[in-house]
Amino acid sequence: MAARSLASLTISFGLVSIPVKLHSATRHGASVPFHYIHKKCGSRLRQQYVCIKEDVVVPRDEMIKGFEFAKDQYVNFTPKELKELEEHGSGVVEITEFVPQEEIDPVYFDNAYYLTPDKGGAKPYALLIQAMHKTHRCAVGRWAARGKQYLVQLRPRDETLVMQQLRYADEVKPIVDFEVEAGTVKEAEVKLALQLVEQIASEHFDPSAYEDEVKKRIEKAIEKKVEGEDISVSPGPEEGRGAKVIDLMEALRASLGKAPAARRAATGGRRRKPPRRAAAPAQRRAKAARAR
């Protein structure tokens, strides 16, 4: 059964229009949901808004939104005024430029969606994907929805388009805001670090090799609670402990021995199959002789 789409859109590519369907690429609510409960009686709690001046609960029909332009001074907006300021959705993803894929830093990435061809869109959809594959470029454009205007990236993932919402420049902190102390390393330290990298290197990233251990631990604890069992609570880590000053060379040498075990623990004990080695010439000749 095909996944249900969230909406129907049109990609505007020059004078070409590509009808597509919008699908969420991620699962929201994958974490274990908890609710606030009244400890005394075990009932769910309801959130309320309280006026800090009159100390009374304010119902929603008496609320408006305001912007604080100075200390305790606000300009207020009615719902109609805010509605007028919203972007009107057109259902069109307008491509404005094509850029090399590596030019967009993942720090700008936000929500991701899959775009699949709608009726009559298969051919131009495939054409756009091939063009991006051959030029090694992705598309940047605009998409208006839910009263907002989004900056988006369209990129091919195999033969499917991914639409990635991008953060605007003013939503990403400049890296120059952070002070990074310069460090000097020795050539011997670099060589050991390279050995460590190669020891746990993979040619491909397999996300299915990793699981959320915290989520599994919480779900197991919930099962015990439902069955009436108590769960043990271990003492937390000591507070105020700083990072230990270590000898970098010794740490690298020790890491080389522990790296395979640490990797297996992080990936749930899965082991990669070692690459098959080619038989030596003499071994191949002996094997061929036996076959004859």
Asked if the structure places residue 205 within a domain, the reply is no
Q: Is 221 exposed, middle or buried (0-12, 13-18, 19+ CB in 10 A)?
A: middle
* Total domain count, the chain: 1
pLDDT in the model for residue 18: 93
* Series of mean pLDDT values for 10-residue runs along the chain (292 residues): 82 89 80 88 92 93 91 90 84 94 94 94 94 95 90 95 95 88 88 88 88 86 87 68 66 76 62 46 48 48
Asked if the structure places residue 17 within a domain, the reply is yes
Asked if the structure places residue 176 within a domain, the reply is no
Its domain, for residue 99, covers 7-27+86-171
pLDDT in the model for residue 264: 64
Asked if the structure places residue 106 within a domain, the reply is yes
Copy the structure tokens of residue 237. 């880590």
Residue type, 65: K
Asked if the structure places residue 193 within a domain, the reply is no
CATH of the domain at 98: 2.40.290.10
Q: What is the DSSP letter of 71?
A: T
pLDDT in the model for residue 33: 84
pLDDT in the model for residue 212: 83
Asked if the structure places residue 199 within a domain, the reply is no
CB 86 within 8 A of CB 144: no
pLDDT in the model for residue 246: 67
Asked if the structure places residue 192 within a domain, the reply is no
pLDDT in the model for residue 28: 66
Asked if the structure places residue 186 within a domain, the reply is no
- For the stretch 103-106, contacts whose Cβ atoms lie closer than 8 Å and that sit 24 or more positions apart, written own/partner, are 104/138, 104/140, 104/153, 104/166
